[in-house]
Amino acid sequence: MRALATAVVLAAVVAVADSPLTSIDFATAYKDVPGVQSARDGNVEAAYVYLASTADNGSKLAVANALGWQGDFATGFFEFLAAERHVLVNQLDARDLNASQRFIAGFLVATADYLELKPLKPKGQGVWRMKGVELLQLAAKELPNDFTVQYALSLVQAQALLHAGDKRWCEVFRTPDTVLRRFPVAQRNLRPGAVESAQGYLNSYEEYCPTSGVAKRKQVAELNQIYSLAKVGRQIVAGTQGGVVVWDPEQPKPVAFREGFICRGVEWKGAAWLGCEGDVVRWDGASFTSFLGTKKKGAGVYYEPMHGPDGSLWVRRGKQTWAWNEAASRFVTVTPPWKTDAYDARFAKGQWFWVEFLRGVHASTRTFALQSAEYPGSDPRAFTEDETGALWVQDFESGLFRFDGDRFVKVPGLDAKASGVAVDVERKRTWMLHYTDGLTLVREGGKTERIALKELENMRDLLLDTNGDVWVGGWTQLVRLRPDGPTWAKQRFFVK
């Protein structure tokens, strides 16, 4: 089943203005410093005067930070220093600057080209052909006990690591953190508010350090963020943000789990098949098997298992589609019937149905336009085939619709944010899942009952057990609902 929320993590794409040199605010902690106000007012010349002065390095870093990253202020600073020393601007050398000025010059050069971190003039001479990190290293060598200089150098080094890819992102946190550990608070010449501001940003990269407490807490949280549920024997298999988790209803801890990223799937022939970012995973009740492994990554591109024609199993990923070949025990490439990107797809009622996101619902022989008599909804997301064989559409804006063989009919019970439906034929009741509120139980005759599950936050799937119990997968845990007199008992399952 497709996830209903489009804002997922996610997370791992660095925006242009998201980096140590562009996202950290030192200036606010120094707003009383005249140079900071000059920089913020656009009085660059006055800011240069301050940066070249004998002021403390913490204040200078705040002024350089206040100038911002959307411009080249290093060239102007070099021109100011050259004029002050009465030397030709293109002949200004690092030896013409004192250690504090090299420190500020290095920070400004790095900020001027924070994506490439190149010299201002690679073919120039003197300071013009030096990288920001090189100027900072000279200053750091001369001022080994100056926390501000050492910390600024670590930020430029972290900036370089950031653009080396996510495998180095742990070092984006560890490089400045090493400097923090080296200097006790009493030995830091940078105001605490400035350090706190910087670490508020840098600490977000700690989760990429596998052995850190932050990473472990993040992994646990993601294993409880459920996208889909399937049943294998007595086991409940949850596809989650962090992988696949297998629960036995009689055990408090998972019986198995496998790491992955955004996994969801279906039950097929006694096994759970889950598509993740990197592969398709089969859980047969005892072990995991991987298929279609890939290292390719793309925003929103994951393997998605689905039921195909004649009881077959299909998988799609982006524009590629495969079908399971039982004779060969592998997936083989097939051509799908949809020409546009399918947000969700399912073979039912002898034909293919698929959702074109925010455009319509398609069948093999026709299209159901949004907000039409054939499809009154406006935001279809996913299909469900219930225990009677009826086909449903979960609509995020309009609720639930059931296909009557000719059109999709609105079913009372939910008005919006539908994320699941199950029909209990034996007990003559229908369960409807709301993305944020919980369950609506519709009994025979139309009598309804609401079961709030707000503690689950976002709920993307429900599963009806053969004994009438209902399982709901949320963003914080898995819940099992069982009759308890006139109410419902909740049994909770979550990774600790």
User: What is the pLDDT at residue 147?
Assistant: 98
The mean pLDDT of 20-37, rounded to a whole number, is 95
**What are the structure tokens assigned to 219, written together?**
């992994």
Give the residue with greater pLDDT, 410 vs 13: 410
pLDDT tens string 169-221: 999 999 999 999 999 999 999 999 999 999 999 998 988 888 888 888 889 99
The answer to whether residue 471 scores a pLDDT higher than 70 is yes
Q: How confident is the model at residue 2 (pLDDT cuts 50, 70, 90)?
A: very low
CA–CA distance from 167 to each of 43, 170, 262, 264 (Å)? Answer: 41, 7, 19, 25
Half-sphere exposure of 343 (CA within 13 A, CB side): 20
- CA dihedral sign of residues 80, 84, 89, 94: negative
User: What is the pLDDT at residue 183?
Assistant: 96
The answer to whether residue 7 scores a pLDDT higher than 80 is no
User: What is the pLDDT at residue 473?
Assistant: 97
User: What is the pLDDT at residue 5?
Assistant: 37
pLDDT tens string 373-394: 999 999 999 999 999 999 999 9
The answer to whether residue 12 scores a pLDDT higher than 60 is no
Beta carbons of 140 and 100 less than 8 angstroms apart: no
Q: How far apart are CA 470 and CA 464, in angstroms?
A: 5
The answer to whether residue 1 scores a pLDDT higher than 60 is no
CA–CA distance from 398 to each of 7, 39, 233, 301, 325 (Å)? Answer: 20, 52, 35, 26, 38
The answer to whether residue 126 scores a pLDDT higher than 80 is yes
Pick the CATH number of 211-336 from 3.40.50.720, 3.40.50.620, 3.90.1150.10, 2.120.10.80: 2.120.10.80
The mean pLDDT of 254-274, rounded to a whole number, is 96
Share of the chain above pLDDT 70, in %: 96
**Domain segments of the chain: what residues?**
19-209, 211-336
Concatenate the DSSP letters of all residues of 88-118 into one string.
-GGG--GGGS-HHHHHHHHHHHHHHTTTT--
Give the residue with greater pLDDT, 204 vs 289: 289
